[in-house]
Amino acid sequence: MDSDCIFCKIVAGELPCEKVFENDHVLAFLDINPTSRGHTLVIPKEHSEGLLSTPAEALLEVASVLPQVAAAAVRATDAAGFNVLQSNGPCAGQVVPHIHFHIVPRHDGDGIGLGFRQTPVVADELARTAAAIRDAL
């Protein structure tokens, strides 16, 4: 547990939350500032900051319940779909430095934007970028 971490405090029961799912390794609770009704955060109970520092076992535990929790959030809110969002680092919009996966239930025409601006690039540039990533693996 990280004593400065708000989500660790929620896991420890030192701060309240609207819990929707819990097992030995994973907790899911409602986001206090929801993007849509049923906006749920799924976290490993063990503290780690982001995707790159989280042990694979903890990621597997989260992955093994994520669809079940998402399906329940969709069913409970009559949603037509959902987004799963996970941010790493302040520049990517991560505010709470305890890894979490947002489940955001979606409805047709709900107007929620994910804020990604996409621009086409030439094939050469795509190829160079792909090569750089392959080299970095």
Active-site residues, by number, are 100
Euclidean distance between CA atoms 104 and 32, whole angstroms: 13
Total residues belonging to the chain: 137
Euclidean distance between CA atoms 112 and 131, whole angstroms: 34
Question: By CB under 6 A, what part of segment 27-46 binds ligand 5GP?
Answer: 29-33, 41
Torsion of CA 45, 100, 35, 118, to 10 degrees: -170
Euclidean distance between CA atoms 9 and 4, whole angstroms: 8
State in angstroms the smallest separation of the CB of 98 from ligand 5GP.
8
State in angstroms the smallest separation of the CB of 72 from Zn ion.
24
Verify binding: residue 71, ligand 5GP, rule CB under 6 A. no
Verify binding: residue 8, Zn ion, rule CB under 5 A. yes
- Among 23-31, 50-58, 92-100, 123-131, which window interacts with Zn ion (CB under 5 A)? 92-100
Catalog residues that contact ligand 5GP under the rule CB under 6 A: 6, 15, 17, 29-33, 41, 87, 93-96
